[in-house]
Amino acid sequence: MIPKIPTISLIALLILVTPTFAQKGLEGFGVAVDIFKPRTWTSANGSKINAKLKRNLKNEVVLEVERKDTPILIKNFSKPDRILIDKHQVNHSRPYEINFNSFRFWRNKDGKEIEAKILDASKSFVQIQVKDSKSFRLPITQLSHLDGKYVNKFLQSQNYLSDEQIFKRLTMYKWRNTPTGAWDYRIEFKTSKTGNGWYEAVWIAFSDFDRNYNRYRYPYPNGSGSRSGSWKLEANGLVKSTFGTWQFPVTDSTSKVLKGTRSDYPNLYGSTGFD
């Protein structure tokens, strides 16, 4: 819930904070700029580099510099470049791909700008915090169309799982190839590290073939029926492992189903109550 604090217009807020944000943020870039084409990027201290954008991530972008991928924090770019990156993120990223804890430039319908981060929002108002820690509540109707889209994605993000939540659920459950009843194999995603960003994974099969059920009914003890491997969590809930690749749902509605990304990677179902 948004705290009951006085509502203030963005113009009044600009007068309270600083007048320096009134400059136009995209002068010289035009309206439709393709940021994935080679261009000149400028740092916060004025340094320039000609590079091609490869990826636009939560906190950083990856530039191709002399044929090498070079990650650069978004906060280290100049104001016009930060606005350009932010515009692309808002228009092309899904809610869970945006870092809502970062400062960005907000603009009202008159073109006035201020740097702040979002604290909370509703369909009518947004609460933002400027860098001196003061917070203000603004009517969304005063903001630019881009800011309105940003607020909508913030509201949508409340229903999405973070990477930390996905990691916790992946490692909490044992994942088997059947939703209920007997199963043929299971995969366990462990928390012990095997490398940079990689963690231990264990694949366990069954022994003791039961002709009545036409399947193996009991898991092997640790030994010939289990295989060790690794797994890592990538963007958008993608779980890459030695044994296949699965998609974890990024919303909170179906947190116990891993969807196979190929036909030979069947869905896996999470449970804590089976051996």
210 and 194, same structural domain? Answer: yes
CA angle 156, 257, 92 (to 5 degrees): 35
135 and 235, same structural domain? Answer: no
- Per-residue burial over 258-268, b = 16 or more CB atoms within 10 Å of its CB, e = otherwise: beeeeeebbeb
Range with the poorest average pLDDT among 28-37, 63-72, 77-86: 28-37
Give a yes or no: residue 203 inside a domain: yes
Query: At 197, which CATH number?
Result: 2.40.128
Per-residue pLDDT tens digits for 94-127: 888 899 999 999 999 888 999 999 999 999 999 9
Determine the pLDDT at residue 160. 85
Give a yes or no: residue 3 inside a domain: no
145 and 45, same structural domain? Answer: yes
User: Which residue pairs from 32-40 have beta carbons closer than 8 angstroms and sit at least 24 positions apart in sequence?
Assistant: 33/84, 35/84, 35/85, 35/88
Determine the pLDDT at residue 27. 39
β pairing state of 244-247 and 198-210:
unpaired
Taking residues 26-48, what's their average pLDDT? Answer: 76
219 and 146, same structural domain? Answer: no
Determine the pLDDT at residue 24. 39
Domain boundary among 127, 157, 187: 157
Under a CB-based contact definition with an 8 Å cutoff, are residues 118 and 105 in contact?
no
250 and 167, same structural domain? Answer: yes
62 and 177, same structural domain? Answer: no
Higher local confidence (pLDDT), 27 or 81? 81
Q: Which residues contact 240 (CB under 8 A, 6 or more apart)?
A: 231, 232, 234
In the predicted model, is pLDDT for residue 87 greater than 70?
yes
Q: How far apart are CA 73 and CA 75, in angstroms?
A: 5
Q: How far apart are CA 258 and CA 161, in angstroms?
A: 14
Backbone angles phi, psi at 268, to 5 degrees: -115, 150
Give a yes or no: residue 4 inside a domain: no
Give a yes or no: residue 216 inside a domain: yes
Determine the pLDDT at residue 13. 54
Determine the pLDDT at residue 162. 82
16 and 139, same structural domain? Answer: yes
Q: Which residues contact 128 (CB under 8 A, 6 or more apart)?
A: 106, 116, 117, 118, 119, 135, 136, 138
Higher local confidence (pLDDT), 210 or 81? 81
Query: At 94, which CATH number?
Result: 2.30.30.700
Identify the domain containing residue 262 by its residue range. 163-271
Per-residue pLDDT tens digits for 128-170: 999 988 999 999 999 999 999 999 999 998 888 888 889 999 9
16 and 144, same structural domain? Answer: yes
212 and 168, same structural domain? Answer: yes
Q: How far apart are CA 98 and CA 166, in angstroms?
A: 16
Backbone angles phi, psi at 165, to 5 degrees: -70, -40
149 and 63, same structural domain? Answer: yes
Residue 221 DSSP SS3: coil
- Please count the structural domains in the chain: 2
93 and 36, same structural domain? Answer: yes
142 and 22, same structural domain? Answer: yes
Higher local confidence (pLDDT), 164 or 252? 164
Domain boundary among 100, 135, 157: 157
Per-residue pLDDT tens digits for 122-136: 999 999 999 988 999
In the predicted model, is pLDDT for residue 16 greater than 80?
no
Residues comprising the chain, all counted? 275
Domain boundary among 126, 157, 188: 157
Determine the pLDDT at residue 236. 79
Give a yes or no: residue 112 inside a domain: yes
Give a yes or no: residue 65 inside a domain: yes
Give a yes or no: residue 5 inside a domain: no
In the predicted model, is pLDDT for residue 243 greater than 50?
yes
Per-residue pLDDT tens digits for 176-217: 988 887 788 889 999 999 989 999 999 988 655 444 555 544
